[in-house]
Structure 1
Amino acid sequence: MDSASGAGPKAMGPGGSGTSLRTEHLLWMRHLIEAGEAGSGARTMMLPGGIVTRRRGRGLETDDIRPFLYGDDVRHIDRNTTARTGRLHVRTFRDERERSVLLVADFRPSMLFGTKRAFRSVAAAEALTLAGWRVAGQGGRVGVFAGTGRETFFHRPGAGDRAMKAVAGRLAAAHAAALAATGIVEDPPLATILESAARALPHDGTLLVATALDHPGAEFDAVMRDIAHKAAIDVLLVADPFEIETPPGSYPYLSAGGRRETGEVSGRPATRDVDRRLRRLELLGARTLLLDASLPPLDLAGLIEGFDARRR
């Protein structure tokens, strides 16, 4: 159960193996987004008649001043706040008509698991990338915050193909780092990742989180309520088919000490634990979507399209 069965190149796209991520695979996924969407750089203005126009450059209105994160543009360092606090701070800017989405990828050790097509971490990255391409194609701004349990990978929200290329690169690098990490037995709290990501979110933006909700942490509910009070938060709950419906049988597994052992499973009702996690997220103010990690990218694209349409 610690590996996913591979799918052919036609099913996975360039560089897709089910257990690892390549930038080329995530860039290829752009072609799964419906062809009718506006191209990058085309913005539909919020005026009667749906006038389409192009706007260049960034907005001039200051959105926020926050601590400097790796990947921020040094030209936007706020000197006054930096001098006052002794820590680097940057200004962020916005255009009132732009939608900003920060993709949050949970790449902690428990996400590196899969029994069929792909690891949960791979399916999470694919779904986030598909959502990112949709937002970018509609003229929005997209960034990424990926947490491996040991380090984080961040790229501030930007517009168009250039931003999505950076997002794909960060996701691939973060996933490679997660696979290469050793010595981590238990996940650090998910709440810590969400709290850090929320600090990097532009004002009135949306956090789109892909996670299995393993080991959320004691502060998770409080962190989620705080985020939901300030911004929109959507959660893609990623589940392996084994979690959705567990067939009875004898299954090998690795113990906490790294030993190979075998356990008997009598089977359990489908989706019971998954449904409980969905309800918990919804009660905390999040919109949710259940993603089966075994679904091929084309099916994931359809789910993401429907989820995005529900917002409108």
Structure 2
Amino acid sequence: MVSAALDHPGIRLTAEELLALRDTRAPRNGHRPATRRPGAVPARLPGAGMDLREIRAFAEGDDTRRIDPAATARTGLPHVRSFHEDRDDTTLLIADFRPAMLWGTGPALRSVRAARCLARHGWEAVARGASVAGMTITSSGISVLPGRTGAQQLSAVAQMFAHEHDRALEQSDSSPTSLATALVCAVRLAPAGAQVWLATDTQGVAPEDEPALGRLARRRRVMLLCPLDPIEVSPPSRALSVRSGTSGRMARLRPFDPTLLSARMRTLNVTLEAVCDDPS
């Protein structure tokens, strides 16, 4: 339980506000699995599934391991088999609640806004029948919730987000958990073909985290979700006084420029999404 000083909307995160983001207008997904594996849906991703799509003439660039001997012998020309690709439709929501996220100059902390954005993407996954997994990163460690389907699962993720955010607000540990450690764990939670939403600040991915992030993005669609604080979008035009101990100086803030961060992420096969407003 957080102290009374922190128990205010925008500072304290509640499961109820995340559950309220569900779009009741979205149609309920009546999808049934395309194969006998639970959660498998057809998708155009690298790699073949088990269901035969067609046998066709060999073309330059085709994998010779897929040559069909019977069709080749029958026609006298090389023929290959192609298959319907399958994947497990899983969405992993990663909320960074380390100290750098626990601040804000607007109506809500950046950590709270990050959780709201993740919840919206979680509800979108639930609506299409996907499996949803959750992870939080705080100064005290990592909490995970393995993937399952349904609204009840998203409710459990919301409860975990709220609980871990309360703990993060009360923590005073100055040595937060490494993001790389969390990303190694994320590889086990998100199967190949999964979608991963990582909500952190614009400085949340350090150079030493990049190898782990690159491995996570190797066979998954990874989105770096950065909720921008109002002061990063429209900073004051005047110079501000910055003090540290007995020293101080004047500095002028500039709006956040996503160019460099976006370029860094592209080299890792990660997509940057900078968010200026809360989901409505």
Instruction: Write the distance in 1 (CA, Å) between the matches of 2:246 and 2:157.
Output: 36
Match for residue 114 of structure 1? 104
Letter paired with 1:211: T
Match of 2:95 in 1: 105
Amino acid at match of 1:119: L
Q: Secondary structure at the match of 1:104?
A: strand
Structure 1 residue 26 and structure 2 residue 18: aligned?
yes
Q: Does 1:271 align with 2:260?
A: no
More divergent stretch after superposition (174-183 vs 239-248): 239-248
The residue that corresponds to 1:152 in the other structure is 142
8 A contact 2:91–2:194 mirrored in 1: yes
Counterpart in 2 of 1:297? 279
TM-score, length basis structure 1: 0.65
Contact 2:242/2:251 (<8 A) preserved? no
Query: Does the CA-based 8 Å contact 1:198-1:207 persist in structure 2?
Result: no
| TM-score after normalising by structure 2 | 0.72
* Correspondence 1:4-15 to 2 at 5 A: none
Q: Compared with structure 1, are the counterparts of its residues 58 and 172 closer, same or farther at alpha carbon in structure 2 (3 Å cutoff)? A: farther
Helix, strand or coil: the match of 1:234?
strand
Please say which structure displays the higher CA radius of gyration.
Answer: 2
Give the 3 Å change call, closer, same or farther, for CA 59–266 of structure 1 in structure 2: closer
Structure 2 residue 27 is the aligned partner of structure 1 residue 42: no
Q: Does 1:139 align with 2:113?
A: no
Measure, in 2, the Cα distance between the counterparts of 1:105 and 1:97. Answer: 24
- Report the Cα distance in structure 2 between the residues aligned to 1:60 and 1:250, rounded to whole angstroms: 53
8 A Cα contact 2:117 2:278, kept in partner? no
* Separation of aligned partners in 2, 1:44 and 1:23: 29
- Percent identical across equivalent pairs? 26
Kept in 1, the 8 Å contact 2:194–2:220? The answer is yes
SS in 1 for 2:224: strand
Matched, 1:59 2:38: yes
C-alpha offsets along residues 242-292 of structure 1, whole Å, 9 cap, x if unaligned? Answer: 223422343577x5xxx7997633233x223x4322221122101221112
Shift of 1:60: 9.3
Q: 2:268 aligns with which of 278, 284, 287?
A: 284
CA distance, structure 1, for counterparts of residue 190 and residue 265 of structure 2? 19
Note if 1:164 corresponds to 2:146: no
Residue 216 of structure 2 corresponds to residue 227 of structure 1: yes
- Compared with structure 1, are the counterparts of its residues 218 and 42 closer, same or farther at alpha carbon in structure 2 (3 Å cutoff)? same
Question: Structure 1 residues 221, 151: closer, same or farther in 2, change over 3 A?
Answer: closer
Partner of 1:87: none
Does residue 129 of structure 1 match 2:119? Answer: yes
Structure 1 gap segments, 5+ residues each: 1-5, 7-14, 47-54, 62-95, 299-312
| Counterpart amino acid of residue 13 in structure 2 | L
Does the Cα contact within 8 Å between 1:189 and 1:216 map onto a contact in 2? no
Distance 1:281 1:207 in 2: 14
Q: What is aligned with 1:180? A: 170
Give the conservation status (yes or no) of the 8 Å contact 1:107–1:148.
yes
Cα-to-partner distance string for 1:93-129 (whole Å, 9 max, x where unaligned): xxx5651101011111100010112111111100000
May I ask how many residue pairs the two structures share in their alignment? Answer: 229
Q: Distance in 2 between matches of 1:279 and 1:141?
A: 30
- 2:140·2:176 contact (CA, 8 Å) conserved in 1? no
- Following superposition, the deviation at residue 45 of structure 1 comes to 6.2
Give SS of 1:136's match. Answer: helix
The answer on whether the counterparts of 2:116 and 2:278 sit within 8 Å (CA) in structure 1 is: no
1:3-49, Cα deviation, whole Å (9 max, x unpaired)? xxx9xxxxxxxx9711110111111111xx361x222x622666xxx
Please state which structure has a larger fraction of its residues in helix.
Answer: 1
SS state at 1:224 partner:
helix
Gaps spanning 5+ residues in structure 2: where? 1-5, 41-85
